[in-house]
Amino acid sequence: MADITIIENAADERIAEWLEQELARALAATDGPVTITVPGGSTPFPIIAKLLEADLDWSRLVVWPGDDRIVPEDHEASNTGKLRAMFEPAGAEVVTLTIMEQVPHFDLAWLGMGADGHIASLFPNTDPKLDEPRSIVRLTPDPLPPEAPFDRISLTLPAILDSDTIAFVIRGEDKRAVFDEAAGGKSDLPVARLLAGATQPVICFT
């Protein structure tokens, strides 16, 4: 089971400071690029905005969406389009997820989680596996979330786990209860499967 640290009631500023420290440490450890994966949804973008105020060498950062909706990048539901609009002016590179993309090792995997225990677009109905041979999959959530009724493309559990550190940002008591059950090995939801396979540090901001 994963070594999990939970940081309670963390404001966006606190999370952005932690991310800045993680990125600064990773940038100092190599002369090459630093690669991270970040979640979509509404929660990350205010945190990213604060993070981008940091004095870092953004030109060495490569950002991978953890998942995306199968829509054009100028569509309001596109995670990639929103990430490009935020990170590219600072000089960072944002990758477009495609099935053929070669997924790297991540210095940091930043995740969200749904109330149904899904991470990235690995919903319970998709039955994600720790031994999935693919790094990226195209799939259809069932039921389709009404706020984003689109097919998805997503990193798989092994791709996410190929990272130095995993960080969750989880808002709300309902999601916290789901995460706690998963962390205790009391469910078989996608988040529980990820945590069962995690050997790196896992930080959860609530």
User: Per-residue pLDDT tens for 11-25?
Assistant: 999 999 999 999 999
Predicted local distance difference test score (pLDDT) of residue 144: 85
Determine the Cα–Cα distance for residues 103 and 111; give it in Å rounded to an integer: 16
Helix (H) or strand (E) holding 129: none
| All structural domains of the chain with their residue ranges | 3-205
User: 169: closest CA among 51, 16, 1?
Assistant: 16
Condensed to tens digits (0 to 9), the pLDDT of residues 40-95 reads 888 999 999 999 999 999 999 999 999 999 999 999 999 999 999 999 999 999 99
Q: Please determine, for residue 1, whether its predicted confidence score (pLDDT) is greater than 70.
A: no
Condensed to tens digits (0 to 9), the pLDDT of residues 130-157 reads 999 999 999 998 888 888 899 999 999 9
Determine the Cα–Cα distance for residues 175 and 195; give it in Å rounded to an integer: 15
Average pLDDT over residues 101-107: 96
Q: Please determine, for residue 2, whether its predicted confidence score (pLDDT) is greater than 80.
A: no
- Specify the fold of 3-205: Rossmann fold (3.40.50)
Predicted local distance difference test score (pLDDT) of residue 188: 97
Determine the Cα–Cα distance for residues 113 and 190; give it in Å rounded to an integer: 9
Condensed to tens digits (0 to 9), the pLDDT of residues 18-55 reads 999 999 999 999 999 999 999 988 899 999 999 999 99
Determine the Cα–Cα distance for residues 99 and 154; give it in Å rounded to an integer: 9
Predicted local distance difference test score (pLDDT) of residue 96: 95
Measured over the CA atoms of residue 81, residue 98, residue 59 and residue 18, the dihedral's sign is positive
Q: Residue 76: which residues within 8 A CB-CB, separation 6 or more?
A: none
Q: For every residue of 66-82, which 3-state class applies, written as one string?
A: CEEECCCCCCCCCHHHH
Helix (H) or strand (E) holding 125: none
